[in-house]
Every structure is written in structure tokens, then in C-alpha cells.
Amino acid sequence: MASVTFNHVYKRFGNTNAVNDLNIEIADKEFLVFVGPSGCGKSTSLRMLAGLEEISDGEILIGDRVVNNVAPKDRDVAMVFQSYALYPHMTVYDNMAFGLRLRKTPKHIIDQRVREAAKSLGIEQLLDRRPRQLSGGQRQRVAVGRAIVREPAVFLMDEPLSNLDAKLRVEARSFISKLHQRLGTTFIYVTHDQTEAMTMGTRICVLNAGELQQVDTPFNLYHNPRNLFVAGFIGSPSMNFFDATLREENGGLTVETSIFKLPTPPQFADMYRDHAGKKVVFGIRPEDIHDADYQPPGIIPGMVKANVDVVEQMGNEMVVYLEMQGTTFISRMDPRTRARIGHAMDVVFNMENVHLFDVDSKLSLAYEYKTANHAKA
């Protein structure tokens, strides 16, 4: 069992910073997920931790030990790759036992660990098969089993589910989460899929272009994103954004865009007042835009009229693409909505859940305000 620390870690390829001043402390037994778009530095960060990439600058610690110059085999980590990397000529048993044999582990211990891991993974009946005789989901479990038998301090997983179909991905997410709870070991998981990140991680590290954007719980990332990138990346469909100006009127604040003007709730006055008269980015999630006929009780409504462009029937909800004077945005509405393509409808924004961002810094005004007040306290 071990904690992991990235201390001012850099990875440079020529003049390009693939990872730029990464600082994270990952607690023992935590499930941390690296998430971000392709090329953001998440897999590179994992490979540096595993010892498969050299660090350009900074320190990586596993527990209290700096591992910058420690060989991969001596770091007490086990890695599961996207490709599974199983030996095709070996049986499942031999694939799982291979790493232990290299370490000259006694045969009876190898057999005990392999069979215990196979039982916990539900693949004990597959031990005599070869990889070509397995489905994608079964191969994925064998790859995880090969890591489990090592009994490492840290599990590293680099997009292990990306080769599975949608149904198997859902099942595998649940399986890996339960595995983490059962083993009680530190898990560090890389994915580009924000749904995987939100459903699996105790905390999520959001990266973009090699820069750490925010490390937080799934709940806080969703409800209190630090900046415009995190707000747009977390959530599906992604948050709607409108260029706006924050104005002070009649003792309150209003958000004025080119297509609508809506008052902000009174409780936000202190939080946003310093930005009155300034340009902002107004953000609202699709699930906070409702058909006026089916708005939830207790919300703070802001009414607009919009034209319906596209309607997607999802069964439990309707995803409705709306248009106002050439500007399009997305909503997730009650399935009873009467939205019809080509027709105008009254739409309600839940103003209690809007987000405002500084145009220049891209930082959330609410996040800055709460951080500043927390520091004062």
C-alpha cells in the first residue's frame, strides 16, 4: 500500500512540454483518474510513474521513496494497458504467472495467487485457454489478473476498457470499482472518457495540453468547475456557453447576451458584484434548461423563447437542440415535452445553477470567490 506524489514534474519532448509542472498528492488506497482530451499528458504522466518514460524535471514519490532513477521492475507497481499485451502462445494461467516466475517466486505461491485471482475475476474456468480463444472482456480480466497476482503497492491502468463495446464497458467499470474496494490498493486510472472518470474515481485529475486544470471529487468538478475548460469537458452533452455582459440594475445583477437578458438570483449578488459592467461567459448545463410546461418545482426560472432544431428521443429524456437568432444550444428535457422540430417553444433556464466565467482568465467567478473567502477564513 502506498501514496503517490508528483512534485513539480515536467516531461519535455524537444521544445514541447507534454507535462508542465504537475503537482498532485494521491492518498494511499485512493482511486484517482486522469482524464482529458488526446495529447493532454495523462498517459505520459502514468508512464513516468511506471518508469517507462524518463522525467525531464521534478520528483515522483511512491510512499516516501523518490523513484526517479528506480527501474520499473523495482517500483512495486503493476500496469494494465489498452492493448492487454497478452502472450498469444501462453495459456491464461501462464500469462498470469509469467511476472511471478521472472521474480523466481516459489511455485506453490504462484499457483495460489493465480487461482485466487482467477476466482475473484470469474475466469477460473479459462485458465487452460489461450488469448485467441477469449472475448475482449475476458482478455481484459486476464490482463487485470496478471497485475493482481503481483500484489503491487499501486495499480496503473491506461485506458483498459477502450477496446470493449458499450455494454461490456459498463460492466467492466463496475467490476474495476468493486475490485478497488476489495483489494484496498491505490489505483491510478487513465481515460479520455469523462463518464468513466465520473463513475469510477474518488477524485479526478483533469488535464489539458499538459497543464493540470483541477483535481477534485466528481461532484465538485461537475457543480463547481474551476475554469471554462473543466466546465465544458465534464458533463454530456457539454455545458452551453454564451458571450455576455454582467450588468447592475435596480439593485440586482442581470446577464445580458445578444439574444436574451436574464436576472441572476439575489443570493449571487455578493459573489458577482465586483464584475458588474464587465464581459463574462455565461454557462448553463443542458439539464438545467427545461420545457416551461414541465419545469421542476423549486427552481429559479429565467424564461426565453427558442426554436426547435433537432429532437433526440432517449426514452428517459429528450435531448432538444434549440436555436435563437442564429445561436444554438442544447437541453435535456422531460420526456413528456411537446417540442417539435421547426416550432417555437417557451424554455426555462434554472438560474440557480448558472456559471459565470472571466473572459480573460477563463476562471469561474464562483470558484474564485469561494476560494478567496475560504483563504480568509
- The mean pLDDT of 52-56, rounded to a whole number, is 95
Q: How far apart are the first and last CA of the chain?
A: 35
Last residue of a domain, one of 178, 208, 232: 232
Q: Which of 8-22, 153-167, 182-196, 290-304 has the lowest mean pLDDT?
A: 153-167
Calculate the CA dihedral of residues 182, 222, 36, 31 and round it to 10 degrees: -20
Q: Are residues 248 and 200 in the same domain?
A: no
Residue 52, pLDDT > 70, answer: yes
pLDDT tens digits for 320-350?
A: 999 999 999 999 999 999 899 999 999 999 9
Query: The whole model's pTM is what?
Result: 0.88
In the three-class reduction of DSSP (H, G, I as helix; E, B as strand; rest coil), residue 245 is classed as strand
Residue 167, pLDDT > 90, answer: no
- The mean pLDDT of 165-183, rounded to a whole number, is 83
Calculate the CA dihedral of residues 328, 329, 335, 341 and round it to 10 degrees: 0
- DSSP codes, 134-166: S-HHHHHHHHHHHHHTT--SEEEEESTTTTS-H
Look up the domain containing 246 and give its range.
Answer: 237-376
Residue 232, pLDDT > 80, answer: yes
Q: Are residues 330 and 345 in the same domain?
A: yes
pLDDT at 286: 97
Q: Are residues 113 and 163 in the same domain?
A: yes
pLDDT at 376: 60
What's the mean per-residue pLDDT of the chain?
A: 91
In this prediction, residue 374 has a pLDDT band, given cuts at 50, 70 and 90, of: low
Q: Are residues 263 and 323 in the same domain?
A: yes
The owner of cell 504537475 is 22
CATH code, domain with 372: 2.40.50.140
Q: Are residues 196 and 333 in the same domain?
A: no
Residue 168, pLDDT > 80, answer: no
Q: Are residues 198 and 284 in the same domain?
A: no
Which residues, in sequence order, are bridge partners of residue 326? none
Residue 375, pLDDT > 70, answer: no
Positive or negative torsion for Cα 272, 273, 274, 276: positive
Residue percentage of the chain with pLDDT more than 90 = 68
Q: Are residues 35 and 81 in the same domain?
A: yes
- The mean pLDDT of 345-361, rounded to a whole number, is 95
Residues 168, 153: Cα–Cα separation, whole Å = 27
Q: Are residues 78 and 201 in the same domain?
A: yes
Residue 83, pLDDT > 80, answer: no
pLDDT at 377: 52
Last residue of a domain, one of 201, 216, 232: 232
- DSSP codes, 85-143: ---TTS-HHHHHHHHHHHTT--HHHHHHHHHHHHHHHT-GGGTTS-GGGS-HHHHHHHH
Q: Which of 68-72, 98-102, 289-293, 361-365 has the lowest mean pLDDT?
A: 98-102
CATH code, domain with 103: 3.40.50.300
Q: Are residues 265 and 328 in the same domain?
A: yes
Helices assigned H by DSSP within 149-279: 166-183, 194-200, 218-223, 228-233, 269-272
Q: What total of structural domains would you count in the chain?
A: 2
Spatial CA neighbour of 64 closest among 7, 116, 103: 7
pLDDT at 114: 92
Q: Are residues 243 and 223 in the same domain?
A: no
Q: Are residues 263 and 216 in the same domain?
A: no
Last residue of a domain, one of 189, 216, 232: 232
Q: Which of 157-161, 192-196, 259-263 has the highest mean pLDDT?
A: 259-263
